[in-house]
Amino acid sequence: DVDECRVLVQNAIRNNPKQVKKYVDGNKRILGFFIGELMKATRGRANPKLANRIVAEELDRLSE
């Protein structure tokens, strides 16, 4: 579910401010960290393509 994944990603972002700062500062590889957090939270059930899109959208919103 897209909405459920979005909530889980937002929680991961809220709980990991240091990693968010790294992303905002230009380290785009940290995206994988947040995808991993989402996969952990869903026990691997999240669609990887969807997970990647949602994580990127949420982090990019913070970069604006």
Average pLDDT, the chain: 94
pLDDT of residue 1: 84
For 33-54, how does the pLDDT look when each residue is reduced to its tens digit (9 = 90+)?
999 999 999 999 999 999 999 9
Burial (CB count within 10 angstroms: exposed 0-12, middle 13-18, buried 19+), residue 52? middle
Average pLDDT over residues 23-27: 94
pLDDT band at residue 63 under the 50/70/90 scheme: confident
pLDDT of residue 64: 77
> Which residue, among 36, 23, 15, 27, has the nearest Cα to 52 in the 3D structure?
36
Give the number of C-alpha atoms closer than 13 A to the C-alpha of residue 64, restricted to the C-beta side.
Answer: 6
